[in-house]
Chain A
């Protein structure tokens, strides 16, 4: 719509017409399932999360400690050399505040999504997660945070085994 065009030609179907069954519709839910193989590095990473630990891989050539772990150093073009644990504390590298939930519905209490550079890993190495126990207006770049884990029994070997990161 613009200043010149106030309404479109044709017959508009409003979402209420669909909801109230005033117009005929075809509804379909495609069965779009997929299975993603987590590979060597990510399989171990997820297994370690279940134990409440965060694991990284190391490269002897560039000396980086990489998290999430990978089997190949993308800077040296060689296989990584070993495994090491990193801490569950870190620094906010960047963040975003979302007032829209995963299904695009509006929410009052926003979701704070942040990239957390983990302590013990190389600079700029971290994971994407959410933050909580903080007013979204008070989130700052560079602030120190710590992971809040699910109780051991509830962990499934998923990134959600960490519930969120809270300020230290």
Chain B
């Protein structure tokens, strides 16, 4: 009593499948306004809590510390500091990239928040934690209300 085995791997079939798991994500009240400011005015906005003084970037509609509604929106400028970073040599599918991509967590100056984005116009070896960077926007006609309307952050000279 033995199990039948296939010795020729070509005899074994495979069944390919593709799960259709498309999604559409809407940005919400704060996200909508935040990305429209980037798209139309090239401005990075933050939401300031009048009660505790925290400046949220990206902005929210409620303060998560004191639950106060955030009504004051401020232009926080486009400069920030590298909080931490990583260098990717492969893409999402594992294919080798011609040029490495530098991903960084950036603290936006004079705020309590930050953005995850790419760094550009710099060698990966020269990136330092704490270095000053600023946002480089796409030309206005090419902006579509996405985080990619900021092309990357480059070192401040």
**Interface of A with B (CB < 8 Å)?**
11, 13, 18, 23-40, 42-43, 46-47, 71-72, 78-79, 157
Note all chain B residues with C-beta closer than 8 A to A13. 26
Note all chain A residues with C-beta closer than 8 A to B123. none
Give min CB distance, B41 to chain A, whole Å.
15
The reply to whether A46 and B13 contact each other, CB–CB distance below 8 Å, is: yes
A24-B145, A26-B146 known; A79 vs B1 contact (CB < 8 Å): yes
**Interface of B with A (CB < 8 Å)?**
1-6, 11-27, 29, 31-32, 35-36, 39, 93, 145-146
Q: Name the contact of A38 in the complex, choosing from B13, B19, B29, B35 (C-beta under 8 A).
A: B13
The reply to whether B16 and A33 contact each other, CB–CB distance below 8 Å, is: yes
Give min CB distance, B125 to chain A, whole Å.
32
Nearest chain-B residue to A39 (Cβ)?
A: B12
Note all chain B residues with C-beta closer than 8 A to A26. 24-25, 27, 146
Given A23-B26, A26-B27, A37-B13, list of 6 further CB < 8 A pairs? A13-B26, A29-B22, A34-B17, A40-B5, A43-B6, A71-B4
Give min CB distance, A156 to chain B, whole Å.
11
The reply to whether A37 and B22 contact each other, CB–CB distance below 8 Å, is: no
A24-B31, A40-B5, A79-B1 known; A35 vs B24 contact (CB < 8 Å): no
The reply to whether B26 and A33 contact each other, CB–CB distance below 8 Å, is: no
The reply to whether A11 and B29 contact each other, CB–CB distance below 8 Å, is: yes
Give min CB distance, B141 to chain A, whole Å.
16
A26-B146, A38-B14, A40-B5 known; A18 vs B26 contact (CB < 8 Å): yes
Note all chain B residues with C-beta closer than 8 A to A78. 1
Please measure, in the bound complex, the distance between the C-alpha atom of A42 and the C-alpha atom of B13, giving whole angstroms.
8
